[in-house]
Amino acid sequence: MEWVVFTCGSSNGRAPRCAAWFLEHVREVAEDANMNIMVLEGGVKGWVKAGPQFTALMDGYDEAHWTDLFAQEGKEGEGGGEVKTGVGQGDVGK
């Protein structure tokens, strides 16, 4: 396996932690120095906000669900920041 990409809702907590744990295991236990461990910047929310060219790749994508979710976040003041999209560059351990 060459690449493993971790993601969660926004890739601000769970995905980076899991990627770091997995990277440690891959390097120290499995002794694989070549596998690339990445975190999807912006998480699945960033993926959806990036547009239809990305949501077309999602199984079970429901536009109404995401519209409602983002509207609710906007009301709570949590959805107002810049969303980074794409896959992070480089190894999470660097």
pLDDT tens for each residue of 11-66: 999 999 999 999 999 999 999 999 999 999 999 999 999 999 999 999 999 999 99
Number of CB atoms found within 10 A of residue 47's CB:
20
Res 76: pLDDT: 84
CA quadruple 68, 58, 43, 88: dihedral sign: negative
Q: Are 15 and 7 in contact (CB under 8 A)?
A: yes
**44: nearest Cα among 64, 27, 59:** 59
Q: Give residue-wise pLDDT tens across range 76-90.
A: 874 444 444 444 444
Taking the whole predicted model, whether its pTM rises above 0.75 is answered as no
